[in-house]
């Protein structure tokens, strides 16, 4: 790695078109630029220093890397806390700056009076993703109660439009946009998990930014506990993005010498819209040593096929039926353990229930393995039903605020379950041992690790413990991965309530949502994939009649939707018609043929002029091929729909474009398809990106998939 070169008083991190320029000249380090590459050499910042207006501090106000009142910051402070009310306002000054590798920097800020030391770490990865985190150390002799430590990044005044995401069960990752004005736009998550409404990123951009246009600055917090993300504009015009953990009262009290480290904040800048943001996240994620490298196997999950109706004969039939279709991983969902005949009992009793599985899981696993498939198993290790052996034996292992009341120590029930206090080492060990035993005694390649409730009052020994619980869950996953390095783990949380880079550091995919309704999935997957590449986003073909919404969709729409993720099935395919089975098998062949491209290429979403249409594609890194989907979310208002542009191709190359799968019979009513669709067409990447190709007037909630290959 090249050593860094810096001008006096400046640190300049540069990678893949992004610059971070940090001015440390006067001991108050501040980011003066996070955005496009400023080029090599010194950057003259003299002309950036502001004047002093009336009714203002007598010195220039500085938004330090940890914004602080002592330097005139009147917005949300980067650090808050006190020693019994004292040391409430630190004056942190740079005492040491250490450059690391090509693009790493640690700034040490200290305040001897408040007896605090804060390390601010930046690492600009090769692909331009910035990793930032801060660590505070209590260097004093008295405890320091920490209330807040966040990562704050400035954005320029032209970033006038904000974007964040929200959602609910079965409708996660819904975008919301607003004009940035003076004030603080806060997205807080107090679910004790990431949350169905978690924003994934807090972003600001130039007005009207889209997937392919505009400048965008976006920050994601890699954390699965309580969190807060904000866009803040102060009266002086300074605008910042800030993310951090939300701490409960008294939750983090640092004893002398102790430290607290923020979760990692991941920040991306793009001058090419949101696709450029995804590029940076995908490049970083795909470069991780833990990133899955094997072809993502076609999954069949039993949940919407059989729910709790576990019985060997049925499941063997389902497994055989799945194998015939080309399924490669068979996942047995909820219902296999002691007392778990429905969703009100059994959590915590992680023993195969002899009542439904008299010979254990082995006969099913053997059959699944003999059919050439991997076997996966559902677990929800963090939870306990009051109606379980575990809760009866260890009521003291339930996490809660330490009240005595109708729920014992626990909080309001949710799906008839409470949370295990994994901060308690005995509870942690019990769960570790049970998971370890299951994985040792059975030939299991995959765990669907679920977490099905909000955890709003987590407590250990009567003190708030969301932070410690989240860390304990991470430790549990980490330890199991060390013991069982070949077992893949999926992060599910009532669908997509735990989608973040903290959990993804120790899991191999997320379950984006409990809805398999293809229409809902179009939006959910599009926005989940803003940060998470498609190979890590589970996407299943559900039954024709959606269990979660009651909508009916044909198989073509369901399959084309699942194609742009980690493809699977969640449907009792035994009962499917021969025609449906043939079509599903063909979709699986198509997925297997294209998954190499779909799971490594660049994701492009088309800024399409018709709001009734959504289109996206994945383009191979070397520009040699692509797969695009054209999707009607509703009926178009146009008789002749707008052409579909295929952005991201090499303008100089010529490509053959054709239908990837046959059009569904129900896709059109009395409309003649554009002639080119019959046999495909050949055109330059420039032509395809600029003028596009004519599209038929599709009925609502249908899709077309196109393959594109360089001639």
Catalytic residue numbers, as ranges: 450, 514
Rule CB under 6 A: say whether 377 interacts with ligand GLA. no
Q: Does 343 bind ligand GLA (CB under 6 A)?
A: yes
528 near ligand GLA (CB under 6 A): no
Residue with smaller CB distance to ligand GLA, 334 or 382: 334
Provide, rounded to whole angstroms, the least separation between the CB of residue 197 and ligand GLA.
Answer: 16
Question: Which tokens is 545 given?
Answer: 């009649």
393: phi then psi, degrees, rounded to nearest 5: -80, -35
Q: For residue 87, give every residue at least 6 positions away whose Cβ sits within 8 Å of its Cβ, in sequence order, or none.
A: 81, 113, 114, 115, 116, 140, 144
Report in angstroms the alpha-carbon separations of 242 from 66, 149, 228, 412.
10, 10, 8, 31
Check residue 245 for interaction with ligand GLA (CB under 6 A). no
Q: Which of 155, 268, 444, 492 binds ligand GLA (CB under 6 A)?
A: 492
Do residues 162 and 156 touch, judged by C-beta distance below 8 A?
no
Residue environment code for 254-285, b if the CB has 16+ CB neighbours within 10 A, otherwise e: beeeeebebbbbbbbbbbbbbbbbbbbbbbbb
**Cβ within 8 Å of residue 32, ≥6 positions away:** 21, 22, 23, 43, 45, 48
**Which residues are CB-contacts of 46 (< 8 A; sequence separation ≥ 6)?**
none
For position 353 contacting ligand GLA by CB under 6 A, the verdict is: no
- Separation CA 650–CA 579 (nearest Å): 38
Total residues in contact with ligand GLA, by rule CB under 6 A:
11
Residue 447 or 606 with smaller CB distance to ligand GLA: 447
The reply on whether position 457 binds ligand GLA by CB under 6 A is no
Count CB neighbours of 523 within 10 A: 18
Shortest reach from residue 552's CB to ligand GLA, in Å:
21
N-term to C-term CA, the chain:
38
- Residue among 388, 452, 470, 614 that touches ligand GLA (CB under 6 A): 452
Spell out the long-range contacts of 321-325 with Cβ–Cβ below 8 A and sequence spacing 24 or more: 321/573, 321/574, 322/373, 322/569, 322/573, 323/371, 323/372, 323/373, 324/581, 324/585, 325/569, 325/573, 325/581, 325/584, 325/585, 325/588
Residue placing its CB nearer to ligand GLA in the complex, 336 or 590: 336
Query: Least distance from C-beta 462 to ligand GLA, angstroms?
Result: 30
Specify the stretch interacting with ligand GLA by CB under 6 A; choose among 268-276, 291-299, 435-443, 487-495: 487-495
Name every residue whose Cβ is closer than 8 Å to that of residue 440 and which is 6 or more positions away in sequence.
none
Kindly state whether residue 572 participates in binding ligand GLA, applying the rule CB under 6 A.
Answer: no
Answer whether 123's CB lies under 8 Å from 117's CB: no
Binding part of the chain for ligand GLA, among 153-161, 213-221, 489-497, 638-646 by CB under 6 A, reads: 489-497
In the complex, minimum distance from the CB of residue 541 to ligand GLA, in angstroms, rounded to a whole number = 14
Using CB under 6 A as the binding rule, whether residue 126 contacts ligand GLA is answered as no
Q: Is 382 in the site for ligand GLA (CB under 6 A)?
A: no
Rule CB under 6 A: is residue 500 a binding residue for ligand GLA? no
For ligand GLA, the binding residue among 28, 161, 215, 514 (CB under 6 A) is 514
Which of 138/516 has CB closer to ligand GLA? 516
Residue 378 as a binder of ligand GLA (CB under 6 A): the answer is yes
Smallest gap, in angstroms, from Cβ of residue 502 to ligand GLA?
Answer: 19
Nearer to ligand GLA, 7 or 344 (CB): 344
Reduce the DSSP state of residue 198 to 3 states and report it: coil
The residue among 237, 323, 316, 292 whose CA lies nearest residue 53 is 237
Q: How far is the CB of 355 from ligand GLA (least distance, A)?
A: 18
Q: Which residue is nearest to ligand GLA (CB)?
A: 334
**Residue 498 or 602 having the CB closest to ligand GLA:** 498
Which range, of 172-180, 429-437, 478-486, 492-500, touches ligand GLA by CB under 6 A? 492-500
Q: Would you say 345 and 415 are in contact if contact means Cβ atoms under 8 Å apart?
A: no
Q: Tell whether residue 450 is a contact of ligand GLA (CB under 6 A).
A: yes
Enumerate helices (H) and strands (E) in the chain, giving the number of each.
12, 37
**CB-wise, 509 or 602, nearer to ligand GLA?**
509
> Least Å distance between CB 169 and ligand GLA?
8
- 344 binding ligand GLA? (CB under 6 A): no
Considering the complex, state which of residue 34 and residue 378 has its C-beta at the smaller distance from ligand GLA. Answer: 378
Which is nearer to ligand GLA, 186 or 549 (by Cβ)? 549
Cβ–Cβ under 8 Å, residues 225 and 469: yes
Q: Is residue 172 a contact point for ligand GLA (CB under 6 A)?
A: no
Residue 494 is a binding residue for ligand GLA (CB under 6 A)? yes
**337 binds ligand GLA per the rule CB under 6 A:** no
**Selected range binding ligand GLA among 185-193, 357-365, 488-496, 672-680, rule: CB under 6 A:** 488-496
Q: Is 433 exposed, middle or buried (0-12, 13-18, 19+ CB in 10 A)?
A: exposed
| Contact with ligand GLA (CB under 6 A) among 123, 275, 333, 535 | 333
Euclidean distance between CA atoms 493 and 475, whole angstroms: 18
Identified binder of ligand GLA from the candidate list 334, 454, 520, 607, rule CB under 6 A: 334
Q: CA 242, CA 31: separation in Å to the nearest integer?
A: 13
Q: Which residues pair with 702 in a beta bridge?
A: 632
Residue 495 makes contact with ligand GLA by CB under 6 A: yes
Closest distance of CB 492 from ligand GLA, Å: 5
Nearer to ligand GLA, 337 or 378 (CB): 378
Q: How many CB atoms lie within 10 A of CB 200?
A: 27
Q: CB nearer to ligand GLA: give 340 or 605.
A: 340
Q: How near is the Cβ of 548 to ligand GLA at its closest, in Å?
A: 10
Question: How many Å apart are CA 586 and CA 265, to the nearest integer?
Answer: 42
Nearest residue (CB) to ligand GLA, 536 versus 649: 536
> What would the 3-class secondary structure string for 246-285 be?
CCCCCCEEECCCCEEECCCEEEEEECCHHHHHHHHHHHHH
- Greatest alpha-carbon span in the chain: 82
**Closest distance of CB 107 from ligand GLA, Å:** 42
Applying CB under 6 A, does 303 fall inside the site for ligand GLA? yes
- The Cα 330–Cα 441 span in angstroms is 18
Q: Are 65 and 22 in contact (CB under 8 A)?
A: yes
Residue 330 makes contact with ligand GLA by CB under 6 A: no
Task: Give min distance, CB of 516 to ligand GLA, in A.
Answer: 9
Interacting residues with ligand GLA (CB under 6 A): 303, 333-334, 343, 378, 450, 452, 492, 494-495, 514
């Amino acid at each position: 790695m090249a050593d860094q070169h810096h001008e006096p008083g400046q640190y300049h991190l540069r990678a893949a078109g992004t610059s971070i320029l940090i001015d440390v000249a006067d001991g108050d380090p501040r980011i003066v630029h996070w955005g496009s590459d400023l080029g090599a050499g010194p950057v003259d910042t003299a002309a950036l220093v502001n004047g002093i207006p009336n009714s203002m501090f007598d010195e220039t106000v500085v938004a330090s890397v940890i914004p602080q009142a002592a330097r005139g910051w009147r917005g949300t402070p980067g650090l808050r806390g006190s020693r019994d009310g004292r040391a409430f306002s630190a004056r942190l000054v740079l005492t040491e700056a250490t450059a690391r590798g090509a693009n790493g920097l640690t700034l040490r800020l200290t305040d001897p009076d408040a007896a605090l030391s804060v390390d601010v770490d930046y690492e600009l990865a090769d692909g331009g993703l910035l990793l930032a985190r801060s660590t505070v150390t209590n260097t004093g002799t008295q405890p320091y109660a920490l209330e807040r430590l966040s990562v704050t990044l400035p954005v320029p005044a032209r970033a006038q439009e904000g974007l964040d995401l929200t959602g609910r069960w079965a409708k996660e990752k819904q975008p919301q946009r607003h004009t940035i004005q003076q004030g603080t736009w806060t997205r807080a998550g107090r679910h004790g998990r990431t949350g169905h409404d978690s924003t994934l990123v807090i972003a600001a951009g130039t007005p009207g930014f889209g997937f392919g246009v505009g400048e965008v600055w976006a920050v994601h917090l890699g954390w699965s506990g309580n969190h807060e993300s904000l866009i803040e504009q102060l009266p002086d015009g300074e605008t910042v993005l800030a993310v951090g953990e939300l701490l409960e009262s008294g939750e983090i009290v640092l004893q002398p010498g102790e430290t607290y480290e923020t979760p990692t904040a991941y920040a991306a800048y793009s001058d090419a819209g949101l696709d450029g943001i995804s590029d940076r996240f995908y490049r970083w994620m795909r470069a991780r040593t833990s990133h899955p490298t094997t072809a993502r196997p076609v999954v069949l999950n039993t949940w919407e096929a059989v729910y709790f109706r576990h019985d060997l004969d049925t499941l063997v039939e389902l497994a055989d039926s799945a194998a015939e279709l080309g399924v490669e991983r068979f996942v047995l969902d909820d219902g296999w353990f002691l007392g778990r005949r429905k969703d009100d009992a059994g959590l915590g009793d992680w023993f195969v229930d002899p009542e439904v599985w008299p010979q254990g899981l082995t006969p099913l696993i053997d059959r699944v393995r003999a059919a050439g498939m991997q076997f996966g198993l559902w677990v929800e290790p963090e939870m306990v039903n009051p109606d379980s052996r575990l809760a009866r034996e260890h009521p003291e292992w339930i996490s809660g605020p330490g009240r005595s009341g109708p729920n014992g120590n626990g909080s309001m029930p949710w799906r008839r379950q409470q949370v295990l206090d994994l901060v308690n080492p005995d509870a942690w060990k019990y769960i570790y041992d049970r998971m370890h035993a299951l994985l040792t005694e059975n030939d299991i390649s995959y765990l669907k690790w679920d977490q099905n409730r909000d955890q709003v009052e987590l407590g250990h020994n009567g003190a708030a413990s969301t932070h410690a619980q989240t860390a304990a869950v991470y430790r549990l996953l980490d330890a199991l991965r060390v013991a069982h390095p070949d077992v893949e783990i999926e992060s599910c949380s009532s669908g997509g309530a735990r989608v973040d880079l903290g959990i993804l550091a120790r899991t191999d995919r997320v379950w984006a949502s409990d809805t398999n309704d293809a229409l809902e999935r179009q939006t959910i997957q599009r926005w989940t994939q803003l940060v998470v590449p498609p190979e890590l986003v589970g996407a299943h073909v559900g039954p024709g009649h959606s269990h979660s919404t009651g909508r009916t969709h044909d198989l073509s729409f369901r399959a084309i939707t699942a194609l742009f993720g980690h493809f699977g099935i969640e449907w009792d395919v035994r009962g499917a018609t021969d025609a449906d089975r043939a079509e599903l098998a063909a979709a699986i062949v198509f997925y297997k043929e294209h998954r190499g491209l779909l799971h490594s290429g660049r994701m492009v979403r088309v800024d399409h002029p018709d709001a009734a249409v959504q289109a996206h594609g994945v383009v191979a890194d070397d520009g040699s091929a692509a797969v695009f989907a054209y999707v009607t979310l509703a009926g178009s208002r146009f008789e002749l729909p707008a052409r579909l542009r295929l952005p991201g191709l090499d303008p100089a190359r010529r490509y053959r474009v054709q239908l990837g799968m046959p059009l569904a019979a129900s896709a059109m009513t009395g409309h003649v398809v554009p002639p080119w669709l019959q046999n495909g067409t050949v055109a330059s990447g420039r032509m395809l990106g600029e003028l596009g190709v004519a599209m038929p007037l599709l009925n609502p909630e249908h899709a077309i998939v196109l393959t594109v290959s360089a001639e």
